[in-house]
Amino acid sequence: MQPYQPPSERAEVAAPEEPGDDIELARAGGLVKLATGALLLTGILSVLLVLQMLLGFRVTGILRVLLYLIGVLGLGCAFLGLQVSRLRAWSAGPAIAVAITQLVALSLWALMSLLSLVFSLLLPLAALASVVAAVATPMARADLLRAARARARLAAAGLRLS
């Protein structure tokens, strides 16, 4: 046999998914659950960080604007985390964008607050959750879309999962 000879057997083509597999595919996978938890935790910790900073310190100028941005993005992370947990297909793209934007905003806040000698113990926790969300959410996108398509097929067949 020559090493560059084409294979003698035909490669098997993957069969399309069976309709009965849709119920199994409609469940959230581990990556989707990780992304959901990370988004929710990022949102909650970010809002708590903003409340702590605004109620405990006098924050002025660009830092105040940055805190408001972190608060709004935190609410967005929490909302999108709930939508990802419900396996909504439209939530995949915005969740990725908000998670990465929140990571950048929290990184800027960490730099600015440390230069101003203001530190909160919520900051490293929120930043860590934000890193996990920014990494896990893009990785979970394919599973999320697959589960959303399976749910749509089941809904078209008359079985609506809530």
- Whole-angstrom Cα distance, residue 22 to residue 25? 5
Whose structure tokens read 């581990």? 30
* Domain ranges (residues) in the chain: 29-156
Q: For residue 10, what pLDDT is reported?
A: 61
Q: What is the pLDDT of residue 122?
A: 93
**Tokens found for residue 129:** 């959750």
User: Residue type at 89?
Assistant: A
**Mean of the per-residue pLDDT values for the chain?**
87
Read off the tokens for 100. Answer: 């990465």
80 in Cβ contact with 39 (< 8 Å): yes
Determine phi and psi for 110, rounding to 5 degrees.
-60, -45
* pLDDT per residue as tens digits for the range 14-47: 545 565 677 777 788 899 999 999 999 999 999 9
According to the model, what pLDDT value does residue 77 have? Answer: 97
What pLDDT digit, counting tens, does each position of 87-127 carry? 898 999 999 999 999 999 999 999 998 888 888 899 999 99
For residues 28 and 145, the answer to whether their CB atoms sit within 8 Å is no
In three-state secondary structure terms, 161 is coil
- CB 76, CB 126: distance < 8 Å: no
> Could you give the CA distance from residue 52 to residue 50 in angstroms, rounded to a whole number?
5
Q: What confidence score (pLDDT) does residue 29 get? A: 85
Q: What is the pLDDT of residue 3?
A: 67
The pLDDT score that the predictor gives to residue 91 is 93
Residue with more model confidence, 162 or 150 = 150
Nearest to 33 by CA among 75, 77, 82: 82
Quote the pLDDT of residue 110.
93
At 47 the pLDDT is 97
> Of 33-47, 71-85, 141-155, where does mean pLDDT reach its minimum?
141-155
